[in-house]
Amino acid sequence: MTDTLKKYLETNPVDYGMILGSGLGDVASEIQAEQVLAYDKIPGFPKPTVEGHAGQFILGNWHGHRILAAKGRFHYYEGYSMDKILAIVDYFHAVGISHVIVTNAAGLMNEKYEKGVILRIDDFKDFTHKALEAGDLDLAKIREDEKEAIDRAVSQSNVSIGHGIYVWTTGPSYESPAEIQYFKELGADVVGMSTMPEVIRARSFGMKVYPFSCATNYAAGIKKEALYHEEVTETALKVSGNIKSLISSLLNVLDKS
């Protein structure tokens, strides 16, 4: 089997890549598709096993900007090796993408914010002890030019966002209230099961990275109510309009820089 998308991209190159997290697949509806390719049509590509992760690349036009979106990603808790977890970023690199927008659904710990907030991820904490396999941990921290581009995009959009530190855990289970209390004391703002290795690998390739969390639910013990899995997709869907606006203005800013 040959990879027709990669061949097509050799003659029709694309600058922007985007990874859509749990429940955020709807964000891709903003793209006028030029090509859609299921991951299982790509030789050697892993298959997502998680509900809410479609497992396809969508190449197309986002309000005048060409972009390759990955709908569905690979997680450590699915049993994948780091090579498989990084298959999407490695693919972006192989087809010459230079800027990557990375999104995820995460649990909120910082009570300064409310459920549904979008956060710019400024740095990561690795509680899996696997991140080094993706690259040097100092690549996790956002670069000044990336931060400036995001802030300019926010000021030109109708969306307000926060910023913070993301803790990467292996999953698949959520944390105990005591673990969340500990993460809070360490200065973390959101917790999730993805993104950190992708960001490190992308920066190690020299790509510009724009990482965002959508805080779809409060982490354990933050509020009296228990968390439930459907909350992730419910909130992600509500916030997807804001994410679309933010991405549109970020692409406008990046095109001009």
Q: Which residues are catalytic?
A: 22, 53, 75, 77-78, 105, 193-194, 217, 229
Output 157 or 217, the one with its CB closest to ligand 6GU: 217
Q: Report d(CA 234, CA 20) in Å as an integer.
A: 15
Binding mask 180-219 for ligand 6GU (x = CB under 6 A): -----------xxx----------------------xx-x
- Residue 106 within binding range of ligand 6GU, rule CB under 6 A: yes
How many other C-beta atoms are found inside a 10 Å radius of the C-beta of residue 192? 25
Encode 98-134: b = buried (16+ Cβ within 10 Å), e = exposed.
bbbbbbbbbbbbbeebebbbbbbbbbbbbbbebbeeb
The nearer residue to ligand 6GU, 17 or 107, going by C-beta atoms, is 107
Structure tokens at 4: 């027709």
Q: Which of 8, 77, 80, 174 binds ligand 6GU (CB under 6 A)?
A: 174
Q: Cite the DSSP H helix spans in 56-134.
A: 82-85, 87-94
Q: Does 171 bind ligand 6GU (CB under 6 A)?
A: yes
Nearer to ligand 6GU, 83 or 230 (CB): 230
Please give the residue ranges that form the binding site for ligand 6GU (CB under 6 A): 105-107, 169, 171, 174-175, 191-193, 216-217, 219, 232
